[in-house]
């Protein structure tokens, strides 16, 4: 419950506003209880990150069974809430070594799993994997999805429709061949 509240606070107001006092207020507890469950705030941030991490890996694995797997993957990595949280964690990692290491570890783990999944999706789709190697597609779609999501959230959308048209065409083509 505390981690839920912490995540919400972080997405809405940034990592700097996740303080023991504010978090406690949101959860209807006394600030001291935060330190009972998580000795330091670093412990809390790490616990939250690991939780989000597990959830993302689990959801990513689930796209394999979807009717339109690449679309499902794209939607997953485009999720506004997730992207906002990811940005906060990256900024947080800038001055918390423990977080930075965990993010780096996760980044590679998530990508490794994603490449495996894309390998299957692309093979079934009939797309030429010499032109579109799964590794490249992974880097490509994650970059695009996150950039578009964050810029959209900020309110800068110039060029997005044109880009999305091309991206959607690619996704649909892959998912069409997939069935």
What's the CA gap between 141 and 64, in Å, rounded?
A: 16
Q: Which residue number, 120 or 147, has a Cβ lying nearer to a second copy?
A: 147
Closest among 81, 91, 85, 141 to 111, alpha carbons compared? 141
Closest among 132, 113, 123, 124 to 73, alpha carbons compared? 113
Query: Where would I find the H helices in 17-133?
Result: 20-27, 31-37, 41-62, 69-78, 80-93, 97-125
What's the CA gap between 147 and 141, in Å, rounded?
A: 10
What's the CA gap between 67 and 45, in Å, rounded?
A: 35
Closest among 47, 8, 45, 50 to 25, alpha carbons compared? 8
CB atoms within 10 A of CB 160: 14
Does the footprint of DNA cover residue 36 (CB under 7 A)? yes
Counts for the chain of helices (H) and strands (E), in that order: 9, 0
Tell me the per-residue interface mask from 56 to 75 with DNA, x by CB under 7 A, - otherwise: --------------------
Interface with a second copy (CB under 8 A): 11-17, 84, 87-88, 90-95, 100-101, 103-108, 111-112, 115, 133, 135-136, 138-140, 142-144, 146-148, 150-151, 154-160, 162-163, 166
Of 4, 12, 13, 17, the one binding DNA (CB under 7 A) is 17
Of 11, 35, 71, 116, the one binding DNA (CB under 7 A) is 35
Q: CB 43 → DNA: shortest distance, Å?
A: 8
Q: Which residue number, 10 or 118, has a Cβ lying nearer to DNA?
A: 10
Q: CB 173 → DNA: shortest distance, Å?
A: 48
Q: Which residue number, 15 or 74, has a Cβ lying nearer to DNA?
A: 15
Q: Which residue number, 123 or 156, has a Cβ lying nearer to a second copy?
A: 156
Does the footprint of DNA cover residue 143 (CB under 7 A)? no
Does the footprint of DNA cover residue 159 (CB under 7 A)? no
Q: Which residue number, 41 or 47, has a Cβ lying nearer to a second copy?
A: 41
């Amino acid at each position: 419950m505390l981690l839920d509240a912490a995540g919400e606070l972080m997405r809405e107001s940034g990592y700097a506003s996740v303080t023991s006092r504010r978090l406690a207020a949101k959860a209807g507890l006394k600030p001291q209880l935060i330190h009972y469950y998580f000795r330091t705030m670093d412990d809390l941030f790490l616990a939250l990150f690991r939780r989000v991490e597990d959830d993302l890996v689990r959801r990513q694995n689930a796209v394999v069974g979807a009717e339109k797997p690449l679309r499902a993957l794209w939607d997953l990595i485009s999720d506004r809430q997730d992207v906002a949280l990811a940005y906060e964690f990256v900024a947080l990692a800038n001055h918390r070594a423990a977080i930075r290491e965990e993010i780096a570890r996760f980044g590679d783990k998530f990508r490794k799993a994603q490449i495996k999944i894309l390998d299957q999706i692309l093979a079934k789709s009939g797309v030429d994997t010499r032109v579109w190697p799964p590794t490249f597609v992974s880097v490509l779609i994650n970059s695009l999805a996150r950039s578009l999501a964050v810029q959209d959230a900020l309110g800068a959308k110039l060029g997005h429709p044109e880009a999305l048209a091309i991206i959607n065409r690619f996704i649909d083509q892959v998912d069409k061949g997939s069935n």
